Amino acid sequence: MKDRPSEESTSEKSGKVTSARESSQPSEVEVLIRDGEAVRGISHLTQSVERTRLDTEGGVLVAEVDSLSHKRHRILFDRNTNLFEFQLIGQENHHSVVYRLDELLCVQNGFVKLKGGVPQNNKINTTIKTLYFYFVYRKNKHLWRVREIAAIFDTNSERDYWLNILTATLTKIRSRPKNIIVYINPFGGKGKAKKIFQDNVEPFFRLTPGLKYSVLMTERANHARDHILEMEAEKWYHLDGLVSVGGDGLFNELLSGALLRTQRDAGRDVDNPNSDGLVTPHIRFGIIGAGSANSIVSTVHETSDYPTAAVHIAIGSECNVDVCTVHQANKLIRISANAISYGWLGDVLRDSETYRCLGPVRYQWSALRTTIRHPIYRGTVKFTLSHKDTSDPQTKLPKCIEPCKECESRKTQSSDSPHQYDYHWHAEFTHVICCVIPTVTPFTPHGLAPFTGIGDGTLDLAMVSRVSRCQNIQFMRRAAMYGGKELYKLDRTLNVYRVIKWSYQPDEGQPDPGTWNLDGEILEQTFEEPLQFALHPQLISFFGRDAAQIKPTKSSFIKKRKSSIIYQ
Ligand SMILES: Nc1ncnc2c1ncn2[C@@H]1O[C@H](COP(=O)(O)OP(=O)(O)OP(=O)(O)O)[C@@H](O)[C@H]1O
C-alpha cells in the first residue's frame, strides 16, 4: 500500500513563506507544445534554494520537498518555458524528471483514488503539507492516463502557495476549454452512455481547474443539432467545446449544428458546392465513443478508450480535421467527417435498418444478404484531383462504358472550355467509397482509406467496378483483415485517387438508384439529381493530438526508479 502522509503523522515546521501575491498571479498562459522533442532540464536556472522562492514575475518557482519515502527533492517550475523539474538532491549523481505544464491536469491538497490511471470518484482526501500533482501521460501506443506525484512541503502555507499559484496558472492556459456542453444519447450503443460518462469522463472534468460543463441528455433524434442551432448567441459564443457521448450519428448532429450555425452567423452560403469560404467554428469537438461503431473517435485517437478521449478534452489538446459537405440540386444536404460509401456498403446499411431488433449482429446478417443479392450500379463518377496526387487518371482509368454522356459532351465542347470536374468514369460499380479520414471501425481496424490523414486536405476516393461475388468477398475480407494499405498493395488496379471534389449520378433505367452510407447514416440517391461532394480542409478542430508525435512512456521505469517522484 502506498505510504501517504496523514493529518496525524505530519507536523508543521515553522518557517517564513512568501504569501501568494497579486503580482505573482499569472496572466493568460500560452503553452508551447513541443511533442516528441527531448525536453531540456531547467536545473541550470537555480543553484541552491532553501524554500519557496519566486525569482521574478514569470520567473522560476522553487521549493524543497520530501517524497513519500522521505527522500529530499527540489521542484522547479519555470514560468517562462512552462516546465517542471523534479530533482533528487543529496545524491552523487544528478537524477531528475521534467514535465511540461500542459501535461499537468491539476494539483490537489489531497489525493484522489486512481485505478489504472483513471480517477475513481471525486472525493479529495485532504492531507496537510502534501501537494499532489496529477500529470497525464501516454501509457502505451494508444492509451492516455493520469499519474500522481506527491510532494511533502515543509509547511502547510508553502504547499498552499504552490497550490494556488499552479491552479491559477492552469486556469489561464489558453488552449484548455473553460465552458463545454456534453450531449449524451442515452440510447446510443448498448444504452450505457450516461454511465460511461459518469464513470470514465466526469471525474477528469471535475478535477480540471476552471472547466465548467453542462450535460444535456438527448430526448430524440436531432435534439442536439436543434439545441445548438437555437442556443442564445451569448451562450454560444461563451462555449469553447461540444462533446458527444454516443455514436457517430450523435457526433454528426453536433458537427452539423455547429457548422450550420457558424455559417449562418457569418452570412456564408452553405448550399453552393463550389464555395470554399466556409468559416471554422470557434468551438472544438470532443467525442466519447459510446455508440455501436465509434469510427470517428477510433480514427482520431486510434482507440475508442473513454479515459483517453476525456484526457484530451481536459488538457485541451487540439487537432484539425477535414470535413466534406454533400450537396444536391444546389442545396447542402449532409456533412461528413468520416466515410461516404455507395454500392455494397450502402445497401448493407439500408438492409440492416430492417433488422434493428437484432442489435449489432444485424450488420453481419445484412452483409450476408447483400452479398447474395450482389448489387451493381451503373453511373458516372466525376472528380478533381488534389495537387497531392501524382498519378494521372487518364492513363489508369479503364474506358467508360458506352454510351457515355460525359464523353460525348466533352467531344462536342472545345478543349479549353472549363469543366466543373477534371476527370470522369462511366462504369458499373460494386463500390464507390470516399474517406475523409482513415476510417477505423470495428470492421476495418486498420483503417479503410489507404493514404489519407485526418487533416491532410484530401479525400480518398476508391472506385471498384463490377467484380464477381467471390472477388467482392475477397475484397471486403482483405480490407477488414489488412486495411486499405494492404488492399492497395495487393491490387494495383484499384482506382484510388486523392481528390478535392467529386460527384456521382446513377444512370436512369435501373431498378434502383442505390443508397449511400454517410458516416453510418442512410442517404438516399435519386435518378434526377447527382450528389456533389466538396472537401473543406481542416475546417473543424477536435480535442485530440496527433498520436505519432508523442512517444509512449517506457514501461521499464522500475529499473530507473530513484524515488517515488523520479521514476522515468
Ligand atoms: N434520445 C434519442 N432518441 C432517439 N434517437 C436519438 C436520441 N439521441 C440521438 N438520437 C439519434 O440516434 C442516432 C444514433 O445515435 P448514436 O450515433 O449516438 O448511437 P449508435 O448506437 O452508434 O447508433 P448507430 O446504430 O447509428 O450506430 C443518431 O443519428 C441520433 O440522431
ipTM rounded to 2 decimals: 0.96
* Predicted local distance difference test score (pLDDT) of residue 393: 77
**Crossing angle (nearest 10°) for helices 248-266 and 223-230:** 20
Look at the domain 22-175+550-560 and name its fold: PH-domain like (2.30.29)
Task: Give the pLDDT band of residue 547 (cuts 50, 70, 90).
Answer: very low
Higher-confidence position of 6 and 370: 370
* Predicted local distance difference test score (pLDDT) of residue 216: 97
Using a 6 Å cutoff on CB, does residue 216 contact ligand 1?
no
Round to the nearest angstrom and report the end-to-end CA distance of the chain.
21
CA nearest neighbour of 306 among 189, 213, 210: 189
* Predicted local distance difference test score (pLDDT) of residue 488: 62
Rg (CA), the chain: 28
C-alpha dist (Å) from residue 459 to 35, 196, 387: 27, 33, 12
* Predicted local distance difference test score (pLDDT) of residue 37: 39
Q: Where are the domains of the chain?
A: 22-175+550-560, 179-317, 331-537
Q: Please tell me the residue having the least CA distance from ligand 1 atom 4.
A: 220
Q: What percent of the chain has pLDDT over 70?
A: 81
CA 258, CA 195: separation in Å to the nearest integer? 26
Task: Give the pLDDT band of residue 487 (cuts 50, 70, 90).
Answer: low
* Predicted local distance difference test score (pLDDT) of residue 3: 42
264-313 pLDDT per residue, tens: 999 998 998 887 689 999 999 999 998 877 888 888 887 889 999 999 99
What's the gap between Cα 161 and its chain centre? 35
Containing H/E element for 86?
strand 83-88
3-state secondary structure 493-544: CCEEEEEEEEEEEECCCCCCCCEEEECCEEEECCCCCCEEEEEEEEEEEECC
Using a 6 Å cutoff on CB, does residue 450 contact ligand 1?
no
Instruction: Please give the average per-residue pLDDT across 222-241, as a whole number.
Output: 96
Among the CATH numbers 3.40.50.2020, 3.40.50.261, 2.60.200.40, 3.20.20.140, which is that of 331-537? 2.60.200.40
- Per CATH, the homologous superfamily of domain 179-317 is Probable inorganic polyphosphate/atp-NAD kinase; domain 1 (3.40.50.10330)
CA 2, 7, 8, 13: dihedral to nearest 10 degrees? 110
Q: Enter the C-alpha cell of residue 449.
A: 482509406
Instruction: Reply yes or no on whether 248 is catalytic.
Output: yes
Higher-confidence position of 367 and 411: 367
466-479 pLDDT per residue, tens: 989 998 888 888 77
Ligand 1 centroid distance, CA of 243 (Å): 15
Q: What percent of the chain has pLDDT over 90?
A: 50
Q: Which of 217, 223, 250, 288 to mutate to test the pocket of ligand 1 (most atoms within 8 A of CB)?
A: 250
Using a 6 Å cutoff on CB, does residue 221 contact ligand 1?
yes
CB atoms closer than 10 angstroms to residue 368: 12
Q: Using the predicted structure, report yes or no on whether residue 50 has a pLDDT greater than 80.
A: no
